[in-house]
Amino acid sequence: MLEEILVSVRSNPHIDPVMSVWGWEISVYLFLGGLAAGIMFFSALMLLLNKDDEAPFSVNGLALLGPVVLSLGMTTLFLDLSHKLFVWRFYTTFEPTSPMSYGAWILILFYPVGILQILSTLRKGYPYVANLVNDIPPVAGLLDLVERYQRLIAWLAIPIAVALGIYTGILLSAFSARPFWNTGLLGPLFLVSGLSTGAALTALIARQHSERRLLTRIDAGLIVVELLVVALLLINLTTGSKPQLDAAAMLMGGSYTGWFWVVFVALGLLVPLALEYFEIRGSASSILMLAPVLVLVGGYVLRVIAVDLGQETTWINYQNEFNTQLLDRLH
């Protein structure tokens, strides 16, 4: 028997009794970051594949959502900071050992390319806006210019989208102190999940039948890949060392079992995959909206599980004899 108890007080907020320094702000940010990556990826990919007729919204309208979604994510990221006035410190340095530093700079790269994407497709995607600004001479010239480099911009967008999507996973996987996160599979998992949610959102918004069909087919493929990565992650955890086995136990009968298997794997991956399969075969058009909504919910639940469960996994666990609620009575 080994019993380790704290005999002095330790009740540092959000660290004791269980680490919870990162809350919904980080889950939402990781979800929206992945979604923005998916949006940028498919808007660029469809343009490069000349899918103008088959998928007009993806090629011309989708890019507008990228900076909007990312800005929402960066807002919740900012809300998480506990020393907010010093947020500019991210951009006075580059720390080569810190994934978060890479992320901060990737986020900054996203905006100029995202805005160029929007401008280069503005006349086709948002003709009302284009007509409004077209009378201003420099704007018309600018739109002409960016339209000429439309494909180059799309080629720039692809690596930035992939970098953003995979970074949201690498951010967590680089923490050796948190056994659940400490696997390289988290990068690919978050990337493929981000792309999948991007495809789902596009399928949800697109009006044209051919476009929905195309994105549904892509999303079904992505869900299959995501299921494979999830399986690899579980194999990695369940065959790992003690701290990883403890993390795996939380998914295999522990407190996150229901959320992981029922909400994420079943409702977030398997059910939409089945719905999309029937949809592709043309036998389930009436429940068209449900599959992408479930994919989006599943994507968010994955981030919540990863952020919350990961923080609970640790190398050291002490029992705290001290009842932190007693502190309130001091006042």
Asked whether position 7 contacts other proteins by CB under 8 A, the answer is: yes
Q: Please, which of residues 76-95 interact with other proteins by CB under 8 A?
A: 80-84, 86-87, 89-90, 92-93, 95
Question: Distances in Å between the alpha carbon of 152 and those of 9, 141, 221?
Answer: 60, 18, 27
A 10 A CB-CB count for 72 gives 15
Q: How far apart are CA 106 and CA 104, in angstroms?
A: 6
Applying CB under 8 A, what is the total number of residues that bind other proteins?
Answer: 50
Q: Please, which of residues 259-318 interact with other proteins by CB under 8 A?
A: 311, 314-316, 318
Asked whether position 19 contacts other proteins by CB under 8 A, the answer is: yes
CB of 226 to other proteins, least distance (A): 25
The residue (of 43 and 311) whose beta carbon lies closer to other proteins is 311
CB of 120 to other proteins, least distance (A): 32
A 10 A CB-CB count for 127 gives 12
Reported in sequence order, the residue ranges of 178-329 that DSSP labels E, i.e. its strands, are: 319-320
CB of 242 to other proteins, least distance (A): 9
Q: How many degrees, rounded to 5, is the angle at CA 113 between CA 168 and CA 122? A: 125
| Residues 41 and 162 sit within 8 Å (Cβ to Cβ) | yes
Secondary structure class of 181 (helix, strand, coil): coil
Radius of gyration of the chain (CA): 22
Alpha-carbon dihedral 289, 292, 293, 297, rounded to 10 degrees: 170
The residue (of 85 and 128) whose beta carbon lies closer to other proteins is 85
- Residue 37: closest CA among 57, 63, 76, 75: 63
The residue (of 261 and 315) whose beta carbon lies closer to other proteins is 315
Q: How far apart are the first and last CA of the chain?
A: 39
The residue (of 83 and 207) whose beta carbon lies closer to other proteins is 83
The residue (of 246 and 276) whose beta carbon lies closer to other proteins is 246
CB of 88 to other proteins, least distance (A): 9
Please identify which residue in 68, 132, 145, 177 interacts with other proteins, judged by CB under 8 A.
177
Asked whether position 215 contacts other proteins by CB under 8 A, the answer is: no
The residue (of 135 and 328) whose beta carbon lies closer to other proteins is 328
Question: Tokens at residue 175, please?
Answer: 């923490």
Asked whether position 15 contacts other proteins by CB under 8 A, the answer is: yes
* Site residues, other proteins (CB under 8 A): 1-16, 19, 21-22, 80-84, 86-87, 89-90, 92-93, 95, 97-101, 103-104, 174-178, 311, 314-316, 318, 327, 330
